[in-house]
Chain A
Amino acid sequence: MSRIQKRFDQLKAENRAALVTFIMAGDPDRAACQAVLNGLPAAGADLIELGMPFTDPMADGLAIQLAGQRALAAGGSLKATLELVAAFRKTDQETPIILMGYYNPIYAWGPEKFAADAALAGVDGLIIVDLPPEEAGELVPYLRAAAMDFIVLTTPTSDDSRLPVVLANASGFVYYVSIAGVTGTGSATQTAIAEAVARIHRHTDLPVCVGFGIRTPDQAAEVARAAEGAVVGSAIVSVLAEQGPAQALALVESLAAGVRAARK
């Protein structure tokens, strides 16, 4: 059984949702990023999304754009990203890691080889922002062969006719992007999120994690009542940039407390 599936089974048994945390690989530099990454599980992260830095992050707002620029300036690359994961796996065999980013660095690596290399490093799944189902055929078979999950993005624009097309490739969990927008901007209402998650569940049994616009423990708790997971990215990335690793991990602890209290 995959780490992702195992983790969601376990959370289901505990009757709680997952806290999914996003940081950018190599931000602010490799050593500091490794320390934060290694500290995330103890701070309460149930799954980890690790951003693959890219020069042109077209679906990201300022916080994550800047994180990518810091990472690249400090020597970040796809190779360095896999090395961060491999080092993390020396001490943690349980926490799922999902790489999130854009397709070109993977295409440059070679999709087939990358799937194998990422699996070897200990990556559990990929989220590729600019690879919709229309183009995903050039990557997904290689992920399957490497026993990795392809986590699809569904959005407020994915209506009932579009959802089956998007979900056809899905495994692991389904990411619901709760606003039509870039990362780190507005937040959706609780009602809208609950409706959307229910709608997605009419099409799939996979867990649904909701992201975009979740910044506080209260917001995370609200989402944790409606979905199988709450994803927090820009807020953590901003605190890491402005206040440092200790404060970023402290934020993760408070978010985790929010998520864990939500269904009790």
Chain B
Amino acid sequence: MQSLNTYRAGPDERGHFGIFGGRYVAETLMPLILEVEKAYASAKADPAFEAEFRELLAQYVGRPNPLYFARRLTEAFGGAKIFLKREDLNHTGAHKINNCIGQILLARRMGKKRIIAETGAGQHGVATATVCALFGLQCVIYMGSTDIERQMPNVYRMKLLGAEVKPVTSGAATLKDAMNDALRDWVSNVHDTYYLIGTVAGPHPYPAMVRDFQSVIGEEVRVQILAQEGRLPDSLVACIGGGSNAMGLFHPFLDEPSVRIIGVEAAGHGLDKLHAASLTGGKPGVLHGNRTYLLQDADGQIAEAHSISAGLDYPGIGPEHSWLHDSGRVEYVSIKDDEAVQAFQHCTRLEGIIPALESSHAIAHAAKIAPALPKDHLMVINLSGRGDKDVSTIAKALGDIHLGGLV
């Protein structure tokens, strides 16, 4: 495959990354989508917007968070030197808040009074409810009823923060269905409502905008690793649901050819069974406003995804990842439910850090490749969130015998 001068130039002015991306939405939404694009372009050029964003990231989110050298994981893996980017230490416990701070400032700038969002794991829902509380805006969160059940602590958090949580029962009642209902709400409330999308998907400008807000992750890693190790990392590993924590870590390094970049999708029960690995098991299609790799059948009907991790349980992926996949710049692999659960336990026991099940997929892949890498190989894993929300899912997955072993 031909290599490009830069992998950081996209999207084009129509929101396309190669054949991916775009604005495949109902006409009712188009004027609003164009308005969001214009408002974001003007905000991006406004130093006051940037300054307020940075101030909130520092004072409210608690950035920069550490790039933590994980000594015991490193020893256990027996190869590459493992660093964890501690997004779990952010206010609200995941990387999702970075994007929410950026978009809530944009929504306020646009004069919107009502905020809607979709959520899978509930981390984006909590982060959205949080910034709505902070700015005194009405907040409605769409969440699949399957996810409500498996992420109950986050449902209570959202309600405590003043958000209305609307259960979605269509389809498999997970993230895809929540996104459908959020889009239906937006079509019905175009005049006062801002849709705060939680990942690098949806119609242009969302994939680029969310990436820009999340790029603080990779920008910090660059500064931190240079300070701690005096050079760039050799590899980056991040989990992928829609792909926002991964894109935030990857984007600042895309044009560093020495940095190996790996995205980890959810292989669920296995790639030959139910899973959520859109790049590995899907093909290009159009859903939720953009063209991207999708799990679908020959008729173009969207397949139900499965992952033990609600935040990865989505049949699509952000369009820029599809483009990075096809262009060959980023490697995409997948990790099964049971491998993620094992990595969850490893990280918890060895480092005293309970990782989100989503992030555990990244750790699991690192566990696979780190042992064979030299000891001076610097590997950064994005610890995208904390796992308190997953404790009941883990208990169920491990069953009584293993749980007995845990306590």
Smallest Cβ-Cβ distance to A134: which chain B residue:
B23
Smallest Cβ-Cβ distance to A186: which chain B residue:
B188
Determine whether A32 belongs to the interface, using a CB cutoff of 8 Å to chain B.
Answer: no
Contact between A132 and B23 (Cβ–Cβ < 8 Å)? yes
Q: Which A residues lie within 8 Å of B23 (CB)?
A: 132, 134-135
* Cα distance A227–B314 in the bound complex, in angstroms: 42
Q: Which A residues lie within 8 Å of B291 (CB)?
A: 107
Stretch of B130-138, B270-278, B281-289, B395-403 that contacts chain A: B281-289
* Cα distance A133–B24 in the bound complex, in angstroms: 9
Instruction: State the Cβ distance, B305 to closest chain A Cβ, in Å.
Output: 12
Contact between B300 and A58 (Cβ–Cβ < 8 Å)? no
Instruction: State the Cβ distance, A146 to closest chain B Cβ, in Å.
Output: 19
Q: Is the interface of B mostly helix, strand, loop or mixed?
A: mixed
Q: How many A-B residue pairs have CB under 8 A?
A: 115
Determine whether A195 belongs to the interface, using a CB cutoff of 8 Å to chain B.
Answer: no
Contact between A58 and B299 (Cβ–Cβ < 8 Å)? no
Interface size classification for chain B: 35 or more
Q: Is the interface of A mostly helix, strand, loop or mixed?
A: loop
Partner of B30, one of A61, A103, A134, A182: A134
Q: Which B residues lie within 8 Å of A5 (CB)?
A: none
Q: Which A residues lie within 8 Å of B180 (CB)?
A: 56-58
Q: With A180-B188, A181-B187 known to touch, is A130 a contact of B299 (CB < 8 Å)?
A: no
Instruction: State the Cβ distance, B35 to closest chain A Cβ, in Å.
Output: 10
* Cα distance A247–B170 in the bound complex, in angstroms: 27
Instruction: State the Cβ distance, B253 to closest chain A Cβ, in Å.
Output: 31
* Interfacial residues of chain B within 179-194, with CB under 8 A of chain A in the complex: 180, 183-184, 187-191
Instruction: State the Cβ distance, A121 to closest chain B Cβ, in Å.
Output: 16
Q: With A132-B23, A134-B14 known to touch, is A59 a contact of B184 (CB < 8 Å)?
A: yes
Q: With A78-B299, A105-B299, A157-B190 known to touch, is A180 a contact of B28 (CB < 8 Å)?
A: yes
Q: Which A residues lie within 8 Å of B25 (CB)?
A: 130, 132
Instruction: State the Cβ distance, A182 to closest chain B Cβ, in Å.
Output: 5
Instruction: State the Cβ distance, B317 to closest chain A Cβ, in Å.
Output: 15
Contact between B28 and A105 (Cβ–Cβ < 8 Å)? no
Q: Which A residues lie within 8 Å of B188 (CB)?
A: 180-182, 185
Contact between B26 and A130 (Cβ–Cβ < 8 Å)? yes
Stretch of A11-19, A158-166, A232-240 that contacts chain B: A158-166
Determine whether B301 belongs to the interface, using a CB cutoff of 8 Å to chain A.
Answer: yes
Instruction: State the Cβ distance, B352 to closest chain A Cβ, in Å.
Output: 42
Contact bitstring A149-190, B, C-beta under 8 A = 1, else 0: 000111111110010001000000000010011100100000
Contact between B184 and A58 (Cβ–Cβ < 8 Å)? yes
* Cα distance A109–B299 in the bound complex, in angstroms: 7
Smallest Cβ-Cβ distance to B32: which chain A residue:
A157
Partner of B27, one of A56, A79, A104, A158: A158
Smallest Cβ-Cβ distance to A62: which chain B residue:
B170
Smallest Cβ-Cβ distance to A105: which chain B residue:
B300
Determine whether A129 belongs to the interface, using a CB cutoff of 8 Å to chain B.
Answer: yes
Contact between A107 and B286 (Cβ–Cβ < 8 Å)? yes
Q: With A56-B176, A58-B288, A103-B286 known to touch, is A180 a contact of B27 (CB < 8 Å)?
A: no
* Cα distance A135–B287 in the bound complex, in angstroms: 13
| Pairs across A and B, CB under 8 Å, 23 listed | A56-B176, A59-B184, A72-B301, A77-B301, A78-B299, A104-B287, A104-B296, A104-B300, A108-B285, A108-B298, A108-B299, A130-B24, A130-B289, A134-B22, A135-B24, A152-B27, A155-B27, A156-B28, A157-B28, A157-B29, A180-B188, A180-B189, A182-B187
- CB-based closest 6 A-B pairs: A108-B300, A105-B300, A181-B188, A155-B28, A104-B300, A77-B299
